[in-house]
């Protein structure tokens, strides 16, 4: 069994990021492995720990600094990693085409991708990768078992959950509920030093995959949405203020 886990490096959800001039300023922000991708790493490790002989390869496409997120996966227990080094911010479809080239070379039975990417909240990378590979795909997975070259997954749909059986190889996107990712231990952090982290330039990987080394979409303009607060203070005694608060929550905010 061979599993490829796709990683992205994103700003820590708990860290503050600054928006200025319509763009995000990531300098000084803490960058971490995407929490959604961590579920995939953890699931791969658990599959191996359940006794199935498994090679686990982490794969990421991003700038030099993304190597830090890859090292976290290596320290969690992944065997080796491939880093497609790219200074271009690829959109999900372009990134999927590039990654598909590496996945085809690695020829795994299973690919894990985070259910969505925390940086721009896109849920597109997993489906786009499956499309580029021509493989079946299950998204938002919370449970997963193997049987005779197939995989059975339970995943979220709009009105609940459904259970699917897919032939392998397949792409599975992961999310909260699948497992509780571990911390890398100190011994594993030290061991990770000796593991292979292969860096490949985007241009080479894209050329080999027959994919463009550029965005699939052209970005004309982007803006960070800024919401101003209403700064309303409710007057009157507690009873009046509470009544007014309930009215606003029900009629205006429509949360009650």
Partner 1 sequence: MIDFELSDEQKQIQSMARAFAREHVLPHAAAWDRETRYPEEVVEAAAELGLLNVGVPEAVGGLGLGMLDEIVIAEELAYACMGFYTILMASDLGLTPIVLAGTAEQQRRFLEPLTTQARLAAFALSEPDNGSDASGLRTQARFEGDEVVLDGTKMWISNGEQASVIVVFATVDVQSGHKGTVAVVVEGGTPGLEANPIHGKLGQRASPTAELVLRGVRVPSANVLGEVGDGFKIAMRTLDRTRVPVAAGSVGVAQRALDEAISYASTRQAFGGPITRFQAIQFKLADMKIGLETARWMTYRAAWLIDRGLPHTEASAIAKCYASDVAFKAAEEALHVHGGYGYVDEFPVGKLMRDVKLNQIYEGTNEIQRVVIARGLMR
Question: What's the closest the beta carbon of residue 68 comes to partner 1, in angstroms?
Answer: 7
The answer to whether residue 199 forms part of the interface with partner 1 (CB under 8 A) is no
Q: Is 82 helix (H, G, I), strand (E, B) or coil?
A: strand
- Residues that contact partner 1, how many (by CB under 8 A): 15
Region 130-189 residues binding partner 1, contact defined as CB under 8 A: 183-187, 189
Provide the token pair at 89.
């911010």
Instruction: Please say which residue, 120 or 183, places its beta carbon nearer to partner 1.
Output: 183
d(CA 83, CA 67): 7
Of 37 and 139, which CB lies nearer to partner 1 in the complex structure? Answer: 37
3-class DSSP state of 105: helix
Per the DSSP assignment, residues forming a β-bridge with 141 are 155, 174
100 binds partner 1 (CB under 8 A): no
Question: What mask of x and - would describe binding to partner 1 in positions 18 to 37, judged by CB under 8 A?
Answer: --------------x-----
Give the one residue of 66, 75, 138, 178 binding partner 1; rule: CB under 8 A.
75
Q: List the beta strands (DSSP E) in the chain.
A: 2-7, 9-11, 18-20, 23-25, 31-33, 55-62, 80-85, 110-114, 137-147, 150-157, 160-167, 170-174, 197-201
Span interacting with partner 1, options 58-66, 67-75, 159-167, 243-251, rule CB under 8 A: 67-75
């Amino acid at each position: 069994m061979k599993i490829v886990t796709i990683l992205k490096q994103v700003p820590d959800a708990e860290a503050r990021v600054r928006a200025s001039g319509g763009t995000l300023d990531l300098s000084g922000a803490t960058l971490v492995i995407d929490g959604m991708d961590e579920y995939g790493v953890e699931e791969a490790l658990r599959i191996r720990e359940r006794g199935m002989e498994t090679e686990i390869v982490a794969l990421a496409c991003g700038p030099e600094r993304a190597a830090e997120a890859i090292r976290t996966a290596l320290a969690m227990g992944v065997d080796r990693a491939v880093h497609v080094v790219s200074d271009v911010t690829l959109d999900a479809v372009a990134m999927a085409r590039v990654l598909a080239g590496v996945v085809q070379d690695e020829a795994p039975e299973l690919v894990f991708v985070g259910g969505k990417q925390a940086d721009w909240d896109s849920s597109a990378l997993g489906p786009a990768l499956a499309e580029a590979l021509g493989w079946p795909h299950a998204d938002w997975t919370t449970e997963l078992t193997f049987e005779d070259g197939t995989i059975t997954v339970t995943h979220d749909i709009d009105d609940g959950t459904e259970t699917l059986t897919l032939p392998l190889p397949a792409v599975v996107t992961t999310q909260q509920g699948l497992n509780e990712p571990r911390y890398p231990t100190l011994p594993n952090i030290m061991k990770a030093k000796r593991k292979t982290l292969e860096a490949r330039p985007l241009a080479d990987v894209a050329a080999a995959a027959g994919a463009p080394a550029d965005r699939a979409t052209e970005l004309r303009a982007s803006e960070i949405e800024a919401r101003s607060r209403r700064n309303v203070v409710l007057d009157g005694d507690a009873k009046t203020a509470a009544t007014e608060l309930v009215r606003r929550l029900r009629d205006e905010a429509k949360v009650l």
